[in-house]
Amino acid sequence: MRRLPVVVFAAVLGSAPAYAADIAARSTISGVTVFPTGAEVVRLAKVKVPAGEHAVVVDELPPAAIPGSVRVEGMSTGNLVIGSVDTRRILVPHADPAQQASERRRLETEIEKLRDDRAGIEADVKAADIQKSLITKLTELPTVSPQPGSPAAGQIDWNQIFGLVGARFAEAERAQLAATAKIRAIDRQIADLEKKLASLAPGQQQRTEVKVFVQSGGEVDLELRILYQVGQAQWIPHYDARLVTGSKTAAPKLTLVRRATIQQRTGEDWADVALQLSTTRPGTGTAAPVLEPTTVDFEPDAPPPRPMAMPAPTTMSRSLRGRQATAEMADAAAEPAMKAAEMQQSTIEAGAFQATFKVPAKLSVPGNGEQKRVELETTAIDPSLVVRTTPRIEARAYLYAKLATPRTGAPYLPGQVALFRDGTFVGNGRLPQLTPGEDHELGFGADDAVRVRHAVVDEKRGESGIISSSRTDARNYRITVKNAHSRPIQLTVLDQVPVSQNQDIKVELTTRSQPTRRDVDDKRGVMAWDQTLAPDEERTIEFGYRVVWPAAKRIQYGR
């Protein structure tokens, strides 16, 4: 087929001339690109177009299709020109009206027949009731005085009569019970048929109709490619970080698995489609905010009184769609004699401003919000291990893996990460937005082979000075760490000193062990001691501080 030389975007309704006839075309979804918020759907429609001017109508787009995003491309076997494209919302019946009417008549006839059968069985129940009533009256005969001229009571064989009464009463009871059971069964059938009948009530649903106006020089086969965006769809990234800590002779390894959860409520099912996941965020803003000038001036001596007025209306800003975070547990370990199943990996197309993951196999995503999970990529990283402790808060050490993301490939979007250390799930963390080549640290739980102790050596408070006296608060601490590993470890000890909020309050660091870093992560007063501990080595860090302030005032420690 020959590709048409035009790509036409949706036009305003009423812009097209009157064309000869409408040609209905059926379409199918061939591919979907899902964004962190929203998706772009591709539909294919094939139709035979006779010579002349026509309008090809595709009415299967969901009502959630964004009108401004609709565009049409085409290929044909002959000369054909696309004039314009219109879109509009329409109401269409849920099913074929003639077929629905036929099915309704069939169900109504069946319900009438069942009701007639029920009426006949009810007559049998009433007859059994009358029979039981007559039999009951026969049991009262022995108590009735004989009438003159009638046989004497001693001449009647009551045993025979009572046997006959019992047999006939049991037969009537069984017949009544059987009839009642039939009525219950018929009532259930009628209820089921009435539910089906109610579901066939005439109904309509909203759809988006696309009308493509074409001019053809002769009969041609036309293939239309309709692209449109929908908003109620998303993919959420989440990750597995699997750390193998290694040994004295083996270096540690980290496997970072990128996964995605896809869901949509667009009103249409994506059945067996080619799926792509893009990092592009359509609809979240196209330009940076504009800064307005900020002025500074002297405060007036007395502010003028405020006039009473109605409050000005406020403009609500457009909020971003929230992202659900989802986490996935690890696959069960394979038996030693079995070969591990390989996961299909997506291919990545990394552009200058976005990345696209192509899911390897076709996927079906229903339009009811059901989640679909796919694995996108597995990356092997050589991390460096570091142990970190904050003994002032908790006398325990924690293991961290320092990693650098690959310098080529797609960025890592924010998402939850499931953390595994030597095959054991230790908890969940959070991965921030990471660009290719960016460094990051992930915590993998407590390291019980590093012993940490924190002690207050002394606390002193007093006053000094004769004329202008001042007060002091001096404190000293001792931190002891010991490496019980069989290999050296990189250790970071974190602690802090108070930060003065007033120029009359002086804080002096008094330490024997100088920190290697100060104001860690731009946090004032936070210090770090970075060191390497050999196997079975113990280190002691001693530090303190002294706070001095005027004696006439009081101080308080806060955060």
Residue 404, pLDDT score:
92
Residue 72 lies in a domain: yes
Has residue 351 got a pLDDT over 90? no
459: phi then psi, degrees, rounded to nearest 5: -135, 130
Angle between helices 158-199 and 97-138 (to 10 degrees): 160
Q: Which pair of tokens denotes residue 388?
A: 């970190």
pLDDT at 156: 58
DSSP string spanning 495-520? EE----SSTT-EEEEEESS--SEESG
CA separation for the pair 264, 172 (Å, rounded): 62
Residues 507, 524 contacting (CB under 8 angstroms): no
Long-range contacts formed by 463-469: CB under 8 A, 24+ apart: 463/551, 465/551, 468/550, 469/551
Asked, for residue 104, whether it belongs to a domain, the answer is yes
Residue 323 clears pLDDT 50, i.e. is over it: no
Token output for 318:
């457009």
Contacts for 550-555 with beta carbons within 8 Å, 24 or more apart? Answer: 550/468, 550/470, 550/471, 550/504, 551/463, 551/465, 551/469, 551/470, 551/471, 553/504, 555/473, 555/505
Please indicate, yes or no, whether residues 12 and 83 belong to a single structural domain of this protein: yes
How many Cβ atoms from other residues are within 10 Å of residue 475's Cβ? Answer: 18
Q: Is the pLDDT of residue 475 over 50?
A: yes
Q: Is 50 exceeded by the pLDDT of residue 327? A: no
Mean pLDDT, residues 267-293: 85
Query: Looking at 128-142, 223-237, 240-254, 391-405, which range is the least confident one?
Result: 128-142
Q: Is the pLDDT confidence value at 354 over 50?
A: yes
Given a cut of 70, whether residue 446 has pLDDT beyond it is yes
Q: What is the 3-state secondary structure (H, E, C) of 115-142?
A: HHHHHHHHHHHHHHHHHHHHHHHHCCHH
Residue 183 and residue 122 in contact, taking contact as beta carbons nearer than 8 Å: yes
The pLDDT-based confidence of 116 (bands split at 50, 70, 90) is: confident
Q: What pLDDT was estimated at residue 318? A: 40
Domain check: are 73 and 216 in the same one?
yes
**Residue 193 — very low, low, confident or very high, per pLDDT cuts 50/70/90?**
confident
Statement to judge: residues 458 and 531 lie in one domain:
yes
In a domain? residue 426: no
- 232 half-sphere exposure, CB direction, 13 A CA radius: 16
Lowest mean pLDDT among 64-78, 378-392, 420-434: 64-78
pTM over cut 0.85: no
The CA distance from 481 to 484, in Å, is: 10
| 112 and 168, same domain (yes or no) | yes
Could you tell me if 24 and 54 lie in one domain? yes
User: Does 349 or 12 have the greater pLDDT score?
Assistant: 349
From residue 334, give the alpha-carbon distance in Å to each of 330, 337, 340, 341, 426: 12, 8, 6, 9, 20
Are residues 122 and 168 located together in one domain of the fold?
A: yes
Q: Is the dihedral of CA 454, 460, 465, 471 positive or negative?
A: positive
Residue 555 covered by a domain: no
Q: Specify if 539 maps to a domain.
A: yes
Instruction: Give residue 151's pLDDT.
Output: 56
Is 513 a member of any domain? Answer: yes
What is the residue type of 500? S
Lowest mean pLDDT among 70-84, 283-297, 314-328, 372-386: 314-328
Q: Which CATH number does the domain housing residue 524 bear?
A: 2.60.40
Task: Count the neighbouring beta carbons within 10 Å of the beta carbon of residue 36.
Answer: 22
What is the per-residue DSSP string for 53-111? EEEEEEEEE-TTB-GGG-EEEEEESS-EEEEEEEEEEEEEESS-HHHHHHHHHHHHHHH
Assess if residue 336 is contained within a domain: no
Share of the chain above pLDDT 90, in %: 44
pLDDT of amino acid 203: 60
Residue 88 shares a structural domain with residue 222:
yes
Residues 108, 86 share a domain: no
Give 192-211 as a DSSP string: HHHHHHHHTS--EEEEEEEE
**Long-range residue pairs from 3-7, CB within 8 A, at least 24 positions apart, any chain:** 3/74, 3/75, 4/73, 4/74, 4/75, 4/76, 4/80, 4/81, 4/82, 6/74, 6/81, 6/82, 7/71, 7/72, 7/73
Q: Which residue has the tokens 């006398």?
A: 395
Rounded to an integer, what distance in angstroms lies between the CA atom of residue 421 and that of residue 170?
A: 76
DSSP 455-471: EEEEEEEEEE-SSS-EE
Using DSSP bridges, classify how beta strands 489-496 and 384-389 pair: parallel, antiparallel or unpaired: parallel
113 and 56 inside one domain: no
Q: Are residues 90 and 208 in the same domain?
A: yes
pLDDT of residue 94: 61
Say whether both 117 and 63 belong to one domain.
no
Q: Residues 497-538: pLDDT tens digits?
A: 999 998 999 999 988 889 999 999 999 999 999 999 999 999
Which residues form the domain of 528?
450-550
pLDDT tens string 16-40: 444 567 899 999 999 999 999 999 9
Question: Above 70 in pLDDT, residue 261?
Answer: yes
Domain tally for the chain?
3
What is the full DSSP assignment across 264-306? E-SSS-EEEEEEEEE---TTS-SSPPPPPP----PPPSSPPPP
- Does one domain contain both 37 and 105? no
> What pLDDT digit, counting tens, does each position of 194-252 carry?
888 887 766 667 888 999 999 988 899 999 999 999 988 999 999 999 999 998 889 99
Tokens standing for residue 298 = 């002297």
* Biggest CA-to-CA distance, the chain: 145
- Of 230, 245, 276, which marks where a domain is finished? 230
Does 400 score more than 90 pLDDT?
yes
pLDDT on residue 162? 63
Of the listed ranges 71-85, 140-154, 460-474, the one predicted with least confidence? 140-154
Q: Is residue 440 part of a domain?
A: no
| Secondary structure E strands in 390-449 | 397-404, 415-421, 424-431, 439-446
